[in-house]
Amino acid sequence: MSTTPTTVGLEPAAPAVELDDVTVRLPRAGGDLQILHGVSFKVPAGSVVALAGESGSGKSTAALSLMRLLPWGARVGGRIMAGDRDVAAMGKEELRRFRASEARIILQDPWSSLHPMKSVGAQMVESARSADPSLSKEQARSLAVEMMAKVRIPDPESRLKAYPHEMSGGQLQRVLIAMALVAKPKLLLCDEPTTALDVSTQAQILDLLRELNREMGLTIVIATHDLDVIAGLADRLVVMYAGRVVEEGPTKQVMANPQHPYTWALLQTAPKHNTGQRMRTIEGRPPALDALPSGCSFAARCQFTTDECHGTRPELVLVDESAVHRTACLRVQAAAGGKHRAPVTTTPVETVSEEA
Ligand SMILES: Nc1ncnc2c1ncn2[C@@H]1O[C@H](COP(=O)(O)OP(=O)(O)OP(=O)(O)O)[C@@H](O)[C@H]1O
């Protein structure tokens, strides 16, 4: 885990990327389906930020929106910033360069992320040269060998000649990470990067990500439903539910002292955090996105629900200013006697995605 972000008493690092009041709507017959509702979080440069939540909570959509990799016709509101540039306002060529060299993505299924008919080496050379067209084929190839060695693929020279079907899932995920690294990106997005892998390979890939963050200062955003993945890796944790952020803060603090009942319940489902013999599940299901309740989306599953929770949607407010720990729960806010502050939000402006 890096030590750069939001250290108490120090100036927080400038955000590498930031979502500010982001909404995402997808077109469908009968009216748009809203997937994200005013999602805001910052990813300090050099940090690891995890997006956690059950399936369908909007983690992937939030992560993919950072690279504008949303389905065609998606309407995006709010601001998505990469440093001081607005990702939504990037022209085609700027966006291509951003995706080729600054921000790279690793998806859950390594098999479908690679071309089956091209050797690993050819794909790595392409990746390197799309980020830096001035590289010769030989230079790109030696960079590929270097990065294959960095992700600890034995005998990288000969493995470059292999085709994807000749490699295991764990090796392919390493190849994908190496393929991202040849572009020398600043930001690596990982969408459930270990879900398709066996447990020991999962641990090795997580160790590798941790090492890349520490040694290369790579900023990492990782979307996962598995809180054990996050525990030793992420500096900050963003917990999502039904398309909203319900809690956000330093991972250790959120895990040791979860404020939102959903975060607490989610932690109980993680094997290492569960003290009982059997793994718990959270009773009930998240609400359908086209039938969200007017109050708190978690109210129907929460053991602390009051009448007010059904009628009033809680805003995400600071519960610990120095650690930038926020939660969206009326009960927590009431217990604090209203001393918590709601963040300032901006007026959303919508853009329509046409290139993904
Ligand atoms: N292209 C799409 N068309 C229609 N609905 C979509 C589309 N993409 C996502 N959704 C819906 O948006 C919601 C959020 O999806 P998203 O993949 O962001 O969630 P997630 O938390 O990453 O879940 P998972 O871990 O299952 O991927 C889900 O209900 C999903 O069905």
Please spell the DSSP secondary structure of 194-237, one letter per residue.
TTTS-HHHHHHHHHHHHHHHHHH--EEEEEES-HHHHHTT-SEE
Q: Residue 16: what pLDDT?
A: 87
Q: Residue 284: what pLDDT?
A: 86
Q: Residue 240: what pLDDT?
A: 97
113 closest CA partner among 46, 192, 185: 192
Q: Is the pLDDT of residue 229 over 90?
A: no
Q: Which residue has the higher pLDDT, 79 or 278?
A: 79
The CATH number for 228's domain is: 3.40.50.300
pLDDT in tens, 247-259: 999 999 999 999 9
Q: Is the pLDDT of residue 9 over 70?
A: no
Provide the domain count of the chain.
Answer: 1
Q: Is the pLDDT of residue 274 over 70?
A: no
Residues with CB under 6 A from ligand 1: 26, 33, 35, 53, 55-61, 71, 223, 225, 289
Percent of the chain with pLDDT over 90: 61
pLDDT in tens, 12-51: 456 689 999 999 999 988 889 999 999 999 999 999 999 9
Q: Residue 348: what pLDDT?
A: 45
Residue 119 domain flag: no
Residue 352 domain flag: no
Place of tokens 């393929």: 179
CA of 56 to the centre of ligand 1 (A): 5
Which of 25, 39, 59 best tests ligand 1's pocket when mutated (most atoms within 8 Å of CB)? 59
Residue 33 domain flag: yes
Q: Where do the DSSP E strands lie in 218-308?
A: 219-224, 236-241, 244-250
Work out the mean pLDDT of the chain and round it to a whole number. 86
Q: Is the pLDDT of residue 219 over 90?
A: yes
Residue 64 domain flag: yes
CA of 235 to the centre of ligand 1 (A): 25
Q: Residue 255: what pLDDT?
A: 94
Q: Which atom of ligand 1 is nearest to the CA of 61?
A: 18
Q: Is the pLDDT of residue 10 over 70?
A: no
In this structure, are residues 43 and 219 in contact, taking their beta carbons and an 8 Å threshold? yes
CA of 270 to the centre of ligand 1 (A): 22
219 closest CA partner among 356, 64, 78, 15: 15
Q: Is the pLDDT of residue 147 over 60?
A: yes
Domain containing 289 equals 15-112+186-336
Note whether ipTM > 0.85 here: yes
For residue 60, name the pLDDT band (cuts at 50, 70, 90). very high
Residue 38 domain flag: yes
Residue 89 domain flag: yes
Please tell me the number of Cα atoms within 13 Å of 36 on its side-chain side.
30
Q: Is the pLDDT of residue 329 over 90?
A: yes
CA of 24 to the centre of ligand 1 (A): 11
Residue 139 domain flag: no
**Joined tokens for residue 348:** 């959303």
Say if strands 103-106 and 85-86 run parallel, antiparallel, or are unpaired.
unpaired
Q: Residue 225: what pLDDT?
A: 84
pTM for the full model? 0.88
141 closest CA partner among 155, 154, 128: 128
Q: Which residue has the higher pLDDT, 152 or 241?
A: 241
Q: Residue 272: what pLDDT?
A: 62
**Joined tokens for residue 60:** 């992937």
Q: Which residue has the higher pLDDT, 348 or 244?
A: 244
Residue 196 domain flag: yes
